[in-house]
Structure 1
Amino acid sequence: MKVMVIVKATASSEAGEMPDPALMEAMGQYNEELVKAGIMQNGDGLKPSKEGFRVRFDGNSREVNRGPFSATSELIAGFWIWEVKNLEEAIEWVKRCPNPMPESSEIEIRPFYEMSDFADIPGVGDTLKKEDEMRQQIALRAAQTNTYLFLGNRTEEALKYYEQHLGAVIHMMMRFSESPDPIPEGAIPPGAENGIMHAEFSVGTTKLFASDGCGESAAPAGFSLAFTVATAELAHAAFDALADGGEVTMPLQQVFWSPLYG
């Protein structure tokens, strides 16, 4: 389930006081734990309400008011968006959070509505369908596409060269011999066990994948594109669309490095 974790404003946050370095470091470590656990989807701090506006609606009229706003404890100073198993898990993670303010503070947890929550409302079937299609379009626009280089038996050599001369950063590099799953018999030629099965690196702001491949060619053999989406539903939809009229060289399936890959 998806939840918003809301950091309530305090007198210091409304005054625009910056956190001390120790708190920033502690919150940074906490956010890193959230990311590693696969829970955090987004998060940010908000400027004091004096920097914001409110628009009041009354029929067709629109009244714009500038902050600051009263009732400090009801204002928001920051938020996270988390994907958790249940509210109990969210509560446990919030209890581990450093106090985000120099004074006493409060963090609120609110679950998002899901489309199924509206299913019993009469006559909303078409609206829910359109809403779901819109959400899928938004999710697809957030997908990542990475160039996947196949460099024969020279991946390790190439990445070291890029590292030295292009300032490349190597994020991971796994050999066939390091695979947690056995390599199928005949998938790679004899003696290729020490080759690079998969590597990820970045040059500047561009992230790339690379591999020695499975022995198709000793020379660099061009590239593929790795299209990464957020859910299994989107993965199946995108894969099926590309497979229609295309050639499937590997069916979409669970593998040790991904819930779905094909």
Structure 2
Amino acid sequence: MKVMVIVKATQSSEAGELPSTELLEAMGKYNEELVKAGIMQAGEGLKPSSEGKRVTFSGKDRAVTDGPFAETKELIAGYWMWQVDSMEQAVEWVRKCPNPMPQESDIEIRPLFEIEDFAQNDPDGTIAAHEDGLRQKLAMRSCTVQPYLFFSGRCEEALDFYKEALGATVSYLMRFSESPDPVPDGMLQPGFENKIMHASFSIGKMSLMASDGCGESTTFDGFRLALSVSTEEECNRAFAALADGGTIDMPLVKTFWSPRYGMVTDKFNVGWMVMVAADVQ
């Protein structure tokens, strides 16, 4: 079940008093325990109601009131979203929480409605299907897509090349011989035991992944990596570096979308589009 754990406001939180260093450290350790246990899904502290607004609904009318709001006991100073097995488990975790305020305080636990709770008012499941679609859209908004490049035994050479040519930074590298699980018999081509099983690297703000694969040949057809830089000088340098040992597919030229743009396939057969950002002259 999912619950919201609500930290009720106090006079000190409404006065805008910040928690002490000791309390911040204690809450940080507590949140770490929640994360490790798979309980915590989100959590934030709220600024005092003096910095907030309240919208009152009356039929079609809407009235906006500036904070602060007088009912301190009805206000909240922060919250967590937890995934728990039961209300009893939530209570046990709240009992472990440091007192979030310098004075006596309250933490309230409220279970969230599940779509199944509304089944009697949604007999054909139309509303449930719509809500499920919205949840999927929200989940996909936080996903990432990263290129994963297979170099058929030349991964380490490629990483060294991108370090030199584009200032790539390798953040993780594991060889097949270092795998926690043994590689299945017959999966690797002979001589690939010490090749790269997986690597993560970044070029500028973009994260990529790479591997030698298991020995099968690979191609990089049907896509190119688009590299945008800030100056024409850097564009010329990066293009020339990538073209070293590779093939220039389109020389650098001025286009309507960029003052400098060209296409090159590097010596590992990875295709690139190199350009200067359109708003840079």
Tell me the TM-score normalized by structure 2: 0.66
Q: Distance in 1 between matches of 2:99 and 2:220?
A: 51
Task: Give the secondary structure class of the aligned counterpart of 2:147.
Answer: strand
Matched, 1:195 2:195: yes
1:97 shift after superposition: 2.5
Q: Distance in 2 between matches of 1:154 and 1:112?
A: 52
Identify the residue that residue 34 of structure 2 maps to in structure 1: 34
Q: Distance in 1 between matches of 2:151 and 2:40?
A: 35
Identify the residue that residue 24 of structure 2 maps to in structure 1: 24
Identify the residue that residue 3 of structure 2 maps to in structure 1: 3
Residues 238-257 of structure 1 deviation map (CA, whole Å, 9 limit, x = unaligned): xxxxxxxxxxxxxxxxxxxx
8 Å contact from structure 2 (residues 168, 201) kept in 1:
no
Task: Give the secondary structure class of the aligned counterpart of 1:145.
Answer: coil
Q: Call closer, same or farther: CA 1:71–1:131 in 2, change over 3 Å.
A: same
Task: Give the secondary structure class of the aligned counterpart of 1:18.
Answer: coil
Residues 6-35 of structure 1 deviation map (CA, whole Å, 9 limit, x = unaligned): 111111111111122222222223333333
- Structure 1 range deviating more: 136-145 or 60-69: 136-145
Query: What RMSD over aligned residues (CA atoms) do the two structures have, in Å?
Result: 3.1
8 Å contact from structure 1 (residues 151, 222) kept in 2:
no
Identify the residue that residue 242 of structure 1 maps to in structure 2: none
1:58 shift after superposition: 1.7
Q: Call closer, same or farther: CA 1:66–1:145 in 2, change over 3 Å.
A: same
Identify the residue that residue 150 of structure 1 maps to in structure 2: 150
8 Å contact from structure 1 (residues 149, 224) kept in 2:
no
Identify the residue that residue 210 of structure 1 maps to in structure 2: 210
Identify the residue that residue 234 of structure 2 maps to in structure 1: none
Q: Which amino acid aligns with 1:10?
A: T
Identify the residue that residue 88 of structure 2 maps to in structure 1: 88
Q: Call closer, same or farther: CA 1:102–1:180 in 2, change over 3 Å.
A: same
Q: Distance in 1 between matches of 2:101 and 2:222?
A: 48
Residues 164-215 of structure 1 deviation map (CA, whole Å, 9 limit, x = unaligned): 9847362x44332343433222211123233332233455544332222112
8 Å contact from structure 1 (residues 5, 82) kept in 2:
yes
- Structure 1 range deviating more: 18-27 or 84-93: 84-93
**How many pairs align?**
222
Identify the residue that residue 119 of structure 1 maps to in structure 2: 119
1:221 shift after superposition: 5.3
Identify the residue that residue 13 of structure 1 maps to in structure 2: 13
1:49 shift after superposition: 0.4
Identify the residue that residue 243 of structure 1 maps to in structure 2: none
Q: How does 1:1-262 map to 2 (within 5 A)?
A: 1-121=1-121, 123=123, 125-155=125-155, 166=167, 168=169, 170=171, 172-202=172-202, 205-217=205-217, 222=220
Q: Call closer, same or farther: CA 1:149–1:24 in 2, change over 3 Å.
A: farther
Which runs of 5 or more residues in structure 2 are unaligned? 224-281
Identify the residue that residue 239 of structure 2 maps to in structure 1: none
Task: Give the secondary structure class of the aligned counterpart of 1:77.
Answer: strand
Structure label with greater radius of gyration: 2
Q: Percent identity?
A: 58
Q: Call closer, same or farther: CA 1:29–1:173 in 2, change over 3 Å.
A: farther
8 Å contact from structure 1 (residues 149, 223) kept in 2:
no
- Structure 1 range deviating more: 131-140 or 81-90: 81-90
Tell me the TM-score normalized by structure 1: 0.71
Q: Distance in 1 between matches of 2:219 and 2:32?
A: 37
Task: Give the secondary structure class of the aligned counterpart of 1:41.
Answer: strand
